[in-house]
Amino acid sequence: MIERKITNSKVLVTGVAGFIGSNLANDLLLNDNQVIGLDSFITGKRENIASILEHPNFTFVEGDIRDREICDHVCNGVDYVLHQAALGSVPRSIEDPFKTNDININGFLTMLISARDAKVKSFVYATSSSVYGTEKRLPKVEEQIGDPLSPYAITKSVNEQYAKVFGGLYGVKTIGLRYFNVFGAQQDPDGAYAAAIPKFIRQFVRHESPIIHGDGTQSRDFTYIDNVIQANNLAAISTNPDAHNEVFNVAFGESTNLDELVQLLQELLVKFDPEIANVEIKYGPERVGDVRHSLASIVKSTTLLGYKPEQDLRTGLETAIAWYWENLH
């Protein structure tokens, strides 16, 4: 089967200095694309794009997605927009709902308007499994969402509605990708809002006890970064009219609870440092706003986009851990 990728095109990646954005940019450059990267460094890190800054097909623009002039500039002449820029983290949105709303909704709308005016071929954007909120049925199906449990979830839900309206009113081809707990190389292990996997890895490497928030039975559909890259490529170049102005789950389609995750991390890290076997796992209070169980149906993604995730949790963790081991020492 011929792999369907964006090739020989001009692509804008917003949030390019973030974990997902930087991985997307690397992949696009490997496939003979011109890449425009936009980032404000509110959460993105310069070191994530250090290796591509001098690449002849990469142009970096430092700027904010809330700045209309900047958005117009970076969208000019672009074929595809892969919009990853956002202020992530449920806990951060609970602490500062205004800033999360401002960046994730006003910034999204500004970028969407600029993409519309530039007449881009497609606008692919990152949304989140957090939009499922109070919906308890598993697996999560795109058309069945509950009430949001955090300001962050609200912003992603509003993004989806704006994208659909812009598709209907202005003919912009939008596709939203609901990411489920993405992990992989270059994901930040530091700070109060670090994702679970890189944070746990760093703690193990330092012989510190990972702290599971809750009883460890809460579950997630952990998704390796390569699967996310595949989905973005497929969405951008999709010619299936049934996929346009829709949202899709991007996940592996398997559920793992946090106890299982930590045990697997410990098992894989012991190969690098036998002492990690002695690190004790601890438990803390559940975090407000967290969805308890998350498992995606990927039927719609598979059927309409041709999405076929190839990296499961264990395979992805083996690759990610090797990267972290090298970079955390």
Residues tagged active-site: 152
Quote the CA–CA distance of 21 and 229 in Å, as a whole number: 9
Look up residue 256 and give its DSSP letter: E
User: Structure tokens of 132?
Assistant: 């499922």
Q: What are phi and psi of 103, to 5 degrees?
A: -75, -45
- Of the candidates 312, 296, 294, the residue with the CA atom closest to the CA atom of residue 247: 296
Give the whole-angstrom CA distance, residue 45 versus residue 91. Answer: 20
How many whole angstroms separate alpha carbon 47 and alpha carbon 214? Answer: 33
Residues whose CB falls within 8 Å of the CB of residue 19, separated by 6 or more in sequence, listed in order = 48, 182, 184, 186, 187, 188, 225
